[in-house]
């Protein structure tokens, strides 16, 4: 029997979710702490204005020498912000930094303005949408959606997004 690429990928992602050992339901702090513990590096969440994180992606992963910073678009709902953070955590869990494409430098001027608490010179690599292949983006979004589905409480963002519903429906 032929196993489709889609279901192989789904199994892989389900295995990652199981390995993460997150409580159901989880809260954002527990999830972030769990991923940080698995990576052996602290993860800091920094809300920023939309101007820094564009392209509909709404999140950016800044890798530093000793920790990781997730910038996420502020001024959105808590559920949406959590989904953005889940997406960036998914890129971490999937090791997408190892195969990142293109320019990985941070725009120091934009960063200083959007997130004054983050010293641009401390950023080793900045990973946003343009640094990933579309297959990686799809995989990260799928994993984020799986995580959001286990969040409990108000999951309206995961169920009203037609793409997310389609993804969930395919499992």
Those residues with Cβ within 8 angstroms of residue 26's Cβ, 6 or more apart along the chain or in another chain:
147, 150, 151, 152
| Radius of gyration of the chain from its Cα atoms, rounded to whole angstroms | 16
Those residues with Cβ within 8 angstroms of residue 76's Cβ, 6 or more apart along the chain or in another chain:
58, 84
Which is nearer to Zn ion, 140 or 157 (by Cβ)? 140
Contacts with Zn ion, 138-167, as mask; x by CB under 5 A: --x---------------------------
Contact indicator for 91, 149 with CB cutoff of 8 Å: no
Element (H, E) at 127: strand 123-127
Contact indicator for 57, 128 with CB cutoff of 8 Å: yes
Give the sheet arrangement for strand 123-127, strand by strand.
Answer: 43-48, 68-73, 59-64, 123-127
Q: How many residues bind Zn ion (CB under 5 A)?
A: 2
Give the CA distances from residue 115 to residues 7, 20, 53, 60, 157, in Å, rounded to whole numbers and listed in that order.
Answer: 39, 29, 11, 12, 26
Which is nearer to Zn ion, 20 or 94 (by Cβ)? 94
Contact indicator for 13, 39 with CB cutoff of 8 Å: no
In whole angstroms, the minimum distance from the beta carbon of 6 to Zn ion comes to 19
Which is nearer to Zn ion, 137 or 161 (by Cβ)? 137
In whole angstroms, the minimum distance from the beta carbon of 64 to Zn ion comes to 19
In whole angstroms, the minimum distance from the beta carbon of 115 to Zn ion comes to 18
Window 84 to 143, contacts with Zn ion (CB under 5 A): 137, 140
Which is nearer to Zn ion, 100 or 111 (by Cβ)? 100
Which is nearer to Zn ion, 32 or 140 (by Cβ)? 140
Window 13 to 72, contacts with Zn ion (CB under 5 A): none
In whole angstroms, the minimum distance from the beta carbon of 132 to Zn ion comes to 5
In whole angstroms, the minimum distance from the beta carbon of 54 to Zn ion comes to 13
Q: Which residues bind Zn ion (CB under 5 A)?
A: 137, 140
């Amino acid at each position: 029997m032929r196993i489709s690429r889609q279901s192989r990928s789904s199994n892989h992602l389900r295995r990652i979710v199981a390995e993460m050992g997150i409580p159901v339901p989880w809260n954002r702090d527990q999830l972030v702490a769990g991923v940080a513990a698995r990576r052996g590096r602290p993860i800091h969440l920094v809300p920023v204005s939309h101007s820094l994180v564009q392209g509909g992606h709404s999140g950016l992963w800044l890798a530093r020498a000793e920790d990781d910073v997730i910038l996420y678009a502020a001024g959105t709902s808590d559920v949406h912000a959590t989904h953005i953070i889940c997406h960036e955590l998914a890129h971490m869990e999937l090791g997408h930094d190892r195969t990142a494409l293109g320019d990985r430098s941070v725009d120091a001027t934009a960063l200083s303005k959007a997130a004054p608490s983050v010293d641009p010179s401390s950023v080793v690599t900045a990973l946003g949408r343009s640094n990933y292949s579309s297959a990686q983006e799809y995989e990260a979004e799928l994993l984020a959606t799986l995580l959001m589905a286990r969040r409990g409480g108000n999951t309206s963002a995961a169920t009203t997004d037609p793409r997310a519903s389609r993804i969930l429906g395919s499992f």
